[in-house]
Amino acid sequence: MPETQWSGWASQAPEWLPPPGPLVIVGPHPDDETLGAGGLIFTCSHRDIKVTVISITDGEAACPEVPMLEAVRRRELVGAMRALGLAQTDIFRLGMPDGALANREVELTKALAKCMPDGATIVAPFEYDGHPDHEAAGRACRTAARIRGLRIVRYPIWGWERSPSQLVMEPAPVRFVLGSRAQQAKLNAVSQFRSQIEPRPGGAIVPAHMLEYFSRPYEVFLL
């Protein structure tokens, strides 16, 4: 659905601030954490809030024509996190296979529950996002949060494009408002993912019109 149709719904969501404590941003593939929560990462990292990014896969299946894509996307992730104020040591890779998370959901849930710090808020993919890896990761995060007694919020990525009914029916969308520095830092971070946003055979993985969802002066989360 075009951003012009989403903007009225999204802009009416109440403002939200993360609760005290560390934040753990979970990305199924490198770039999801940046698209969904890059402004939140920047803002919190510059307020001395502990932010950790868990990258579940290396996104190696996205572009079969690109040799050693997993290494490319790992480098892109490091560059993006640097633009947002995080160091490479703030990134925790699980190294699970891209495209196969639904088959490894129990293992993923255990891994997530084990590595979450006490008192953390988990920022997770939307479990109805319209992408099987995102949905499996979202379900695993929700189960891990329940096991550990942690708070969780979720971010849509492909849901803006593919799953409007599930998003509209969400009872508690909220907005995290971005300052101008956070907005610019997020744009700089997104630009690091050249393998995903630049033209390729069949078109960019994340086409230009989708980037409009992630260029807002706020980020939408689902409680």
Q: Quote the pLDDT of residue 163.
A: 74
SS3 at position 132: helix
Q: How far apart are CA 163 and CA 6, in angstroms?
A: 12
Domains of the chain from N-terminus onward: 3-222 (3.40.50.10320)
Distance CA 141, CA 130 (A): 16
pLDDT, residue 65, reads 87
CA distances from 145 to 3, 43, 110, 150 (A): 31, 23, 11, 5
**3-state secondary structure at position 195:** helix
| pLDDT given at position 71 | 97
Label residue 1 by pLDDT band (50, 70, 90).
confident
The pLDDT value recorded for residue 164 is: 76
pLDDT tens-digit series, residues 113-167: 999 999 999 999 999 999 999 999 999 999 999 999 999 999 999 999 987 788 9
DSSP state of 15: B
Share of the chain above pLDDT 90, in %: 90
